Amino acid sequence: MSTGKVKRCVGKYELGRTIGEGTFAKVRFARNSETGEAVAIKILDKAKVLKNKMVEQIKREIATLKLIKHPNVVRLYEVMGSKTKIFIVLEFVTGGELFDKIVNNGRMREGEARRYFQQLISAVDYCHSRGVYHRDLKPENLLLDQGDNLKVSDFGLSALSQQVRDDGLFHTSCGTPNYVAPEVLNDRGYDGATADIWSCGVILFVLLAGYLPFEDDNLMNLYNKISVADFTLPAWLSFGAKKLNTNPRSKSYDTHYNA
């Protein structure tokens, strides 16, 4: 028997429950009414985007993103707008967030971390080769699918997230900029590719160590630690994993780095 409830639709998608609130958008479950396929829809407040006159840039970026197809990147199917909102229709990913694993089980074995890291680098390399940069790689953007494969979300959507950040404080909703490269913190213009690789390094560190390389309750102290690459490698890392540390200012593989 029908409940008589009218489902709210966006284009051909029937909106369902709210999955969560991200850095710059609300995320809702939805279903393609033609195919039955499940999707996730990110919903943004249009006013925030328009205010910053970024619409043209965002349209350009989205056109590029539709061409990005990689097993480790969350697919972007389409983007729609209403009078007040922007709807970004995405592949629905069911396995939760990678970092929930760390929160629940602590650090990973090297083999497990290596597999996720290879998938991350594969996604990043693919996007970079198409001129698409993430600029905000961090735990909440690393999802897992049913087969325990990594899916990176929000690739190329930095213009959108930047908008909303500009309306609040820098990185308000994600707390602290632990994953951000020093040159991004300086805010003097930066290379999207190397900034992403820095964040990948921080992510790998967290997978293997179970804690962040740069942490401080005081934001200025945190900026400072990031700027001088002041971190300590955990003793349990293998020689191979330690060797991945590419801090050009460190001469040996001591456990403490402070350039």
Q: Pick from 58, 74, 120, 226: which binds ligand 3AM (CB under 6 A)?
A: 74
Least CB distance to ligand 3AM at residue 129 (A): 23
Task: Look at residues 21, 19, 23, 18 and name the one whose alpha carbon lies nearest to residue 167.
Answer: 23
Q: How far is CA 57 from CA 48, 78, 88, 159, 225, in A?
A: 14, 16, 15, 8, 33
Beta bridge partners of 20: 27
Q: Which of 100, 136, 145, 167 is an active site residue?
A: 136
Q: Pick from 61, 78, 97, 230: which binds ligand 3AM (CB under 6 A)?
A: 97
42: annotated binding-site residue?
yes
Active site residue 191: no
Segment near ligand 3AM (CB under 6 A), from 84-92, 113-121, 223-231, 243-251? 84-92
From its phi and psi, is residue 135 left (phi > 0), alpha (psi between -120 and 50) or beta? Answer: left
Least CB distance to ligand 3AM at residue 97 (A): 5
Going by the DSSP 8-state scheme, the letter that residue 139 receives in this structure is: G
- CA dist 41 and 27 (Å) reads 6
Q: Per rule CB under 6 A, is residue 143 in the interface with ligand 3AM?
A: yes
Q: Per rule CB under 6 A, is residue 92 in the interface with ligand 3AM?
A: yes
Query: What is the DSSP track for 207-225?
Result: HHHSS-SS--SSHHHHHHH
Segment near ligand 3AM (CB under 6 A), from 92-100, 109-117, 125-133, 199-207? 92-100
CA dihedral 69, 159, 220, 97 (to 10 degrees): -30
Q: Residues touching ligand 3AM: how many (CB under 6 A)?
A: 15
Instruction: Write out the residues near ligand 3AM by the rule CB under 6 A.
Output: 19-22, 27, 40, 74, 90-93, 97, 140, 143, 153
